Amino acid sequence: MPLHELNRRDFIKYLAGGLSVGALDWNSFPTGSQTTKKENQYDAIIIGAGLGGLSCGAAFARQGFKPLILEQHTKPGGYATTFTREDFTFDVSLHSTTVGERNGLHNLIPGFPEINDVEFVPHPNLYRMIFPDYDIRVPQKNLRQYIDTLIGYFPDEKAGIEGVFEDMKGLADDVGKISSARGQINMQQFPVDYPYLFKTAGKTWGDMVYARIKNIKLAAIISSQWGYYGLPPSKLSPFYYAIPAMGYFVNGGYYPIGRSQTISNALSKFVQGHGGMIKLGARVKEILVKDHSAYGVKTDSGEEFTARVVVSNANAHDTLTKMIHEEEFLGDYIQKMKAFSVSLSCFQIFLGLKTDLVKNVGIKDTEIFFNTGYDPEGDYQRSVAADVENGGYGLTLYDNLYKEYSPKGKNTVNILVLQGFDHWKQFETDYFKDNKDAYRAEKKRMADVLIEKVEKTLLPGLRDAIEIMEIGTPLTNVRYTGNYRGAIYGWDQTVDNSGQRRLPHKTPVKNLYLAGAWTKPGHGYGAVIPSGLECFGEIMKGW
């Protein structure tokens, strides 16, 4: 239903629902007894040990239930993993996330206060954005300074700049208030109590920015984080720009010592330490269903496991169309899924350098967005078309985060562009048959273009400094995480697929649930860990 057709009551439910991440009352949840199950019988089976699957499994284990997590890969974490080539260990995904502080240390993973051995370090600045006429470093935890910098460059837009950040803060505050209200909302008072939520309903992030900002260069600068959320301003839900962006501005951007794998390992240890089980190298082929109710799974090797509920952390598309054979029963649901757009994938170059080029060149930043113009809409279209020639790139210089990230005197560098899947479809069949000549030639061609760009713009001497190079394409994402179309953010966060409208945890198949980026609230470390917890909370409603 389009937003303008919602009646007032539905409208308020639309705003309120799906925004209550973190408002879970753990004391009210039932507890289980792990000793009562037979072999291969569990309280919950979780398909996939991505962060969403691990956090859901951890919630079951913490409450004394017996969960089993089945993961196709040989290590836990999904996108939150690392891989090693000779002396270098590369992070598959993580650039920046937010984390809580405790006794002066940043080691508080939201929802998991028991975990205290993963320490995070701040980025020296939140990020640096380079545009043809501007080179701006966004400071850590100093939104005022960032706003003043923008006003310094665009004094005529002072009121608009103040206004747009006020709207972002207001929206984030309203969401916080509504989460704490735990459903106790006075509907008559809604526009007064939650004015920013009210005025943003049905709008895109672009609507929100252009209501305040006239200068297109300034609008592009303010929207420069769009790559973190996967859509350009004209398509992106304001919730999924304003709220996480505000989280970064206010709470800072952090990175774990030991890379993203330490988060996944800590959650795995938590699951196992509380009596849960994780089986690696176990790919689920089929979800077992009787009378439209899930009761277990079957793996590629033919093993069967049964449970009271099945939670899929694998992508929602394949979960409902390939792992389960309920086409007729799920007809409407699948139609609805087909109408959702799938997020972009990515092309990544992982470089191990034999020299300390970053120090020699004198760059102290960690996260750099290099833009060739002021046109996020055009940049998005170029990403969809896998056009690497015309457009910018993201550059992460991990050695500026903490000492000893790389072997002494060397560097670990990541070049990243968002990319559509369609360009890589022509190589897919051969890729999975291990006939990779054409695929390898294409990825080398693209890598050459991007390395040359980075060399000319920020890191002279880059090519000669390369000791190790690995390239990840959308097909690499499919291979290692099973994500449909190599998507890195699940479904796009469009206005029609965010908040209450995002695909819910509960599916029409009884006892089958979803956790992770493809469901509520969405992608990103700061969302998928809560997604697993929220999914557990949803299951407990009917336990």
Amino acid at 135: D
Q: Nearer to ligand FAD by C-beta: 190 or 305?
A: 305
Q: Which of 61, 138, 218, 284 binds ligand FAD (CB under 6 A)?
A: 284
Q: Least CB distance from residue 316 to ligand FAD, whole Å?
A: 10
Q: Least CB distance from residue 455 to ligand FAD, whole Å?
A: 22
| Residue 94 interacting with ligand FAD (CB under 6 A) | yes
H-state helical runs in 223-259:
226-229, 239-251
Q: Least CB distance from residue 260 to ligand FAD, whole Å?
A: 8
Q: Nearer to ligand FAD by C-beta: 261 or 406?
A: 261
Looking at residue 516, the DSSP 8-state letter turns out to be S
Subset of residues 53 to 92 that bind ligand FAD, contact rule: CB under 6 A? 53, 70-73, 78-80
Q: Least CB distance from residue 299 to ligand FAD, whole Å?
A: 8
Q: Which of 96, 200, 237, 371 binds ligand FAD (CB under 6 A)?
A: 96
Q: Which of 49, 109, 310, 450 binds ligand FAD (CB under 6 A)?
A: 49
Q: Least CB distance from residue 171 to ligand FAD, whole Å?
A: 19
Among 448, 458, 447, 474, CA closest to 372: 458
Subset of residues 487 to 526 that bind ligand FAD, contact rule: CB under 6 A? 488-489, 516-517, 523-526
Q: Is 235 helix (H, G, I), strand (E, B) or coil?
A: coil
Of the ranges 24-32, 47-55, 350-358, 373-381, which one interacts with ligand FAD (CB under 6 A)?
A: 47-55
Inter-residue contact 344 to 493 (CB < 8 Å): no
Q: Least CB distance from residue 6 to ligand FAD, whole Å?
A: 28
| Residue 47 interacting with ligand FAD (CB under 6 A) | yes
Q: Least CB distance from residue 347 to ligand FAD, whole Å?
A: 9
Q: Least CB distance from residue 210 to ligand FAD, whole Å?
A: 27
Q: Nearer to ligand FAD by C-beta: 12 or 323?
A: 323
Cα dihedral value 37, 43, 46, 51, nearest 10? -110
Subset of residues 409 to 428 that bind ligand FAD, contact rule: CB under 6 A? 416
Cα dihedral value 307, 532, 419, 478, nearest 10? -20
Inter-residue contact 488 to 523 (CB < 8 Å): yes
Among 338, 290, 269, 279, CA closest to 47: 279
Q: Which of 262, 343, 483, 493 binds ligand FAD (CB under 6 A)?
A: 483
Subset of residues 297 to 326 that bind ligand FAD, contact rule: CB under 6 A? 313-314
Q: How far is CA 509 from the centre of its chain?
A: 26
Q: Least CB distance from residue 236 to ligand FAD, whole Å?
A: 15
**Whole-angstrom Cα distance, residue 491 to residue 316?**
9
SS3 annotation, 289-354:
EECCEEEEEEECCCCEEEEEEEEECCCHHHHHHCCCCCCCCCHHHHHHHHHCCECCEEEEEEEEEC
Q: Is 453 helix (H, G, I), strand (E, B) or coil?
A: helix
Angle among Cα 195, 199, 201 to the nearest 5 degrees reads 120
Q: Nearer to ligand FAD by C-beta: 232 or 522?
A: 522
Q: Is 267 helix (H, G, I), strand (E, B) or coil?
A: helix
Q: Interface with ligand FAD by CB under 6 A: which residues?
A: 47-53, 70-73, 78-80, 93-97, 283-284, 313-314, 346, 348, 416, 481-483, 488-489, 516-517, 523-526, 528
